[in-house]
C-alpha cells in the first residue's frame, strides 16, 4: 500500500515539487519514497511506500519494466500476481524476475499483454500511473470497485495526479476554485461521487476504468473519456443466473469463491489481522480467514461506553468461539470528540459519514499490532443487507397500491400540506410527496438516501449534475438499490471512509467480498438467496452458521454509529455555532445562510434530529478552514 503522485508538462523543479507532494501523503508510505523524471518528455513520478510484499529494494518504486519501455508507480495489491507470473512465462516472458513484488508483475503484464488485458487479469485493489516511453502516453487506471483513490487534473503548467487531493494543493498554479455543482451532490449524499471532486479543475478516475493521455492532450489540457475494462453495473444487469438443486449447493458455491478470495488476500510479508464487529459480515470473514491463515489470527473491535451503541461484547464472544487473538478498545465520547478536529485533514475533501469517527479509532488501534487488516465491508451491497432496503420496499409497495392517475394529485396535495405544517407532521407529508412524485425506482430510492432534497437551492450558483442515480432501474427494486449503492455509496462513502482512516495511520485494509469473482457470484444468485422470509443476507448467514452458532448472532444490529444528534446539542454546540454563525455564512456567499440557520436552530430546539444534514455542512465548513479555501 502506497501513495502516488505525478506531473506531466512544463512544471519546473519537478523533483522539489513532488517531494512536497510526497510530504503531504507520507502517511500512505512511511517506509521509503522514490522519484523518477524523464526530462525530455516532461513527465515525473513520485512514490511513497508502505512495504507489504517484497520488503527489499527490489520492490522500490517508481519501477521500470525489464525492457525499459514502461515506468510505473502503483498503489495497492495484486492478490493473484504469483499466478499471473506463471501465465506470463507461458505467454513468452523470458526476463529473469528481479524480486517477488506485484509491481514487477504488472510491468511484465504491460510488456506481454498490454494495458487493458493486464487490467482484466488482475485481481486486487489499485491505482496505477504508467508512462509509456514508446508511445509517449500516460496511462492512469483504477481498480474495479474504487478501493484505491486517484485524482487527476490540470494547472496552467500541465497535468497532475495523486492518491490524495492534499498532495496536489501545494503545486504551482493549483486552482482552488470550488466546484459548486459537486457541492450540491455533497449536500445530497454527504460525499462527493466520482468523477467529480470539490475543485473544478480536478476529477476522480471512475472505478473500473483507465484513461490514456497523449503528450498533445496533456499540452492542451484535454479530458479524454475513460475506458471501462469492467463494470459493476453491467454485471448486475447481465450476469447469468445459476440454478442449484439444493440451497446447500448455493452455500457451498459461496464458500468456495469467498475462500479463494481470502487465500489471495492473505498474501503478505508483514503481520496481518481482521476486524471483528460481531456482525454477520466481519464474523464470516474472520471465520474463514482463521481457517485459511497459518497461525493464530489477530482480531480487533471497538467498544463504546454507551450501551445503545456498543457491540464489542458480541465481537468478543465470537472471537472466543473462533479462538482468535482478540483486542478490543473501549472509547468514550471524549475520545471521539477529540478526533473531530483531525477529520478535515484526514479526509482531504469534504466528507460527512459520521461513522468515520469510530472507523478512525479502530484503525488506530489495529495499526499498533498489524500492518494489514481484512474487513467485512460490502456484504450489504452484495447481499441486500441494509435495513433501509426493507423500508424502501415497504414504501414502494404502498405507492404501487395507489392508482397511477391519483399519484400526481395526491403528491401535490401532500406538498401543500408539508408547506403549511412544521415539525414531524411536515416531514411525514414531505415524505409522502416524495413517494408519490418519483418517476421510477431509481428516483424513488434517491429520495430515501438524500440528506437535502433540493441541494442545488442550498449551494448558491449550483446546478446538480448527473450521478449514478441517472441509471435506468434494474428488474427489481432490491436489485436496483444494491447496484446503485455498489457504484456510488460503496466507492465514494464506505471505501473512502476506510481508505483515508486506515492510511492516516499507515494501515492497509483488504476487502475479500470485493473480489470481483465474489461479486459476480453474488449477482448470479436468485433474490431468494439474499432476502428470504424477511431475513436479509440469507446466504451469508447460512455460511456463517457453519462456523458460529446461530444464537450467538441472531440479534438486531446497532451499526457503527455515534450519538451525533446529542453531541451537536451538547459538547459540539459551541464548535457548530462558530462554524455556522450567520455573519460567516453570509460573508462566504456559498450556502443559503438562512436555510442553514433554520436547520441548525430547529435541531437545537429539539424539534427534529437534523444531525445528518448538519454534519455535512459542518464538515464542509471545517474543511474550508483546514485548507484556507475561500469560496
Q: How far apart are CA 576 and CA 619, in angstroms?
A: 10
Q: What are the φ/ψ torsions at residue 413 (nearest 5 degrees)?
A: -65, -40
Tell me whether residue 181 is annotated as binding: no
Give the separation between CA 138 and CA 320, rounded to whole angstroms: 51
CA distance 123 to 111: 18
Angle between helices 423-437 and 441-448 (to 10 degrees): 160
Catalytic one of 2, 235, 474, 477: 2
What sign does the CA torsion over 410, 412, 413, 417 have?
Answer: positive
Cell digits for 479?
436489485
Count Cβ neighbours within 10 Å for each residue of 43-54 and write b for 16 or more, e otherwise: bbbbbbbbbbbb
Residues 437/411, Cβ–Cβ less than 8 Å: yes
User: Cell digits for 561?
Assistant: 454509529
User: Is 355 annotated for ligand binding?
Assistant: no
- 109 has binding-site annotation: no
**Residue 1 Cα to chain centre, angstroms:** 16
Q: Is 22 a catalytic residue?
A: no
Nearest to 5 by CA among 155, 172, 140: 140
Main-chain phi, psi angles of 534, to 5 degrees: 80, 0
Q: Is 25 annotated as a binding residue?
A: no
Residues 6+ apart with CB under 8 A from 476: 527
137-142 and 158-162: which strand pairing? Answer: unpaired
Inter-residue long-range contacts of 409-418, CB under 8 Å, 24+ positions, other chains counted: 410/436, 411/435, 411/436, 411/437
Binding residue ranges? 102, 302, 375-376
Query: Which residues does the annotation mark as catalytic?
Result: 2
Amino acid at each position: 500500500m502506497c501513495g502516488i503522485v505525478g506531473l506531466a508538462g512544463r512544471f519546473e523543479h519537478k523533483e522539489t515539487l513532488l517531494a512536497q507532494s510526497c510530504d503531504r501523503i507520507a502517511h500512505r508510505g512511511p517506509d521509503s519514497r522514490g522519484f523518477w523524471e524523464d526530462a525530455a518528455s516532461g513527465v515525473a513520478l513520485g512514490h511513497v511506500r508502505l512495504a507489504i510484499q517484497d520488503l527489499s529494494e527490489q520492490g522500490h518504486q517508481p519501477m521500470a519494466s525489464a525492457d525499459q519501455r514502461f515506468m510505473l508507480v502503483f498503489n495497492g495489491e495484486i492478490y493473484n500476481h504469483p499466478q499471473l507470473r506463471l501465465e506470463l512465462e507461458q505467454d513468452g516472458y523470458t526476463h529473469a524476475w528481479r524480486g517477488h513484488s506485484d509491481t514487477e508483475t504488472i510491468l511484465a503484464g504491460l510488456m506481454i499483454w498490454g494495458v487493458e488485458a493486464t487490467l482484466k487479469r488482475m485481481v486486487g485493489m489499485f491505482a496505477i500511473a504508467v508512462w509509456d516511453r514508446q508511445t509517449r502516453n500516460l496511462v492512469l487506471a483504477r481498480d474495479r470497485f474504487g478501493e484505491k483513490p486517484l485524482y487527476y487534473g490540470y494547472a496552467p503548467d500541465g497535468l497532475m495526479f495523486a492518491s490524495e487531493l492534499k498532495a496536489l494543493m501545494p503545486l504551482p498554479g493549483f486552482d482552488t476554485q470550488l466546484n459548486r455543482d459537486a457541492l450540491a451532490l455533497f449536500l445530497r449524499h454527504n460525499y462527493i461521487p466520482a468523477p467529480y471532486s470539490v475543485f473544478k479543475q480536478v476529477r476522480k478516475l471512475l472505478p473500473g476504468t483507465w484513461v490514456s493521455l497523449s503528450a498533445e492532450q496533456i499540452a492542451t489540457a484535454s479530458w479524454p473519456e475513460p475506458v471501462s475494462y469492467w463494470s459493476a453495473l453491467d454485471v448486475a444487469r447481465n450476469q447469468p443466473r445459476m440454478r442449484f438443486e439444493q440451497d446447500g449447493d448455493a452455500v457451498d458455491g459461496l464458500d468456495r469463491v469467498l475462500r479463494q478470495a481470502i487465500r489471495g488476500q492473505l498474501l503478505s510479508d508483514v503481520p496481518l489481522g481482521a476486524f471483528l464487529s460481531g456482525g454477520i459480515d466481519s464474523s464470516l470473514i474472520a471465520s474463514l480467514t482463521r481457517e485459511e491463515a497459518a497461525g493464530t489470527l489477530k482480531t480487533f473491535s471497538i467498544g463504546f461506553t454507551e450501551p445503545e451503541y456498543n457491540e464489542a461484547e458480541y465481537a468478543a464472544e465470537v472471537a472466543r468461539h473462533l479462538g482468535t487473538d482478540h483486542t478490543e478498545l473501549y472509547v468514550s465520547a471524549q475520545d471521539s470528540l477529540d478526533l473531530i478536529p483531525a477529520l478535515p485533514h484526514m479526509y482531504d475533501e469534504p466528507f460527512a459519514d459520521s461513522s468515520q469517527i469510530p472507523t478512525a479509532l479502530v484503525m488506530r488501534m489495529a495499526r499498533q499490532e498489524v500492518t494489514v487488516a481484512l474487513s467485512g465491508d460490502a456484504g450489504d451491497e452484495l447481499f441486500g443487507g441494509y435495513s433501509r432496503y426493507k423500508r424502501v420496499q415497504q414504501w414502494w409497495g404502498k405507492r404501487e397500491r395507489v392508482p397511477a392517475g391519483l399519484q400526481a394529485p395526491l403528491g401535490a396535495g401532500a406538498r401543500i400540506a408539508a408547506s403549511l405544517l412544521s415539525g414531524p407532521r411536515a416531514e411525514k407529508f414531505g415524505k409522502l410527496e416524495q413517494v408519490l412524485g418519483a418517476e421510477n425506482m431509481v428516483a424513488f430510492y434517491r429520495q430515501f438516501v438524500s440528506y437535502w432534497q433540493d441541494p442545488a437551492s442550498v449551494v448558491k450558483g449550483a446546478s446538480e449534475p448527473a450521478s449514478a442515480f441517472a441509471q435506468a432501474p434494474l428488474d427489481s427494486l432490491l436489485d436496483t438499490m444494491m447496484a446503485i449503492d455498489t457504484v456510488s455509496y460503496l466507492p465514494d462513502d464506505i471505501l473512502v471512509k476506510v481508505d483515508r482512516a486506515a492510511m492516516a495511520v499507515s494501515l492497509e485494509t483488504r476487502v475479500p467480498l470485493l473480489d470481483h469473482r465474489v461479486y459476480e457470484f453474488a449477482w448470479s444468485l436468485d433474490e431468494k438467496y439474499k432476502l428470504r422470509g424477511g431475513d436479509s443476507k440469507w446466504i451469508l448467514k447460512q455460511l456463517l452458521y457453519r462456523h458460529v452458532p446461530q444464537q450467538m448472532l441472531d440479534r438486531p444490529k446497532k451499526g457503527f454509529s455515534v450519538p451525533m444528534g446529542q453531541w451537536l446539542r451538547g459538547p459540539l454546540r459551541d464548535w457548530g455555532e462558530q462554524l455556522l454563525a450567520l455573519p460567516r455564512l453570509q460573508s462566504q456567499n456559498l450556502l443559503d445562510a438562512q436555510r442553514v440557520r433554520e436547520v441548525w436552530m430547529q435541531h437545537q430546539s429539539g424539534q427534529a434530529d437534523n444531525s445528518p444534514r448538519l454534519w455535512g455542512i459542518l464538515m464542509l465548513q471545517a474543511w474550508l478552514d483546514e485548507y484556507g479555501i475561500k469560496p
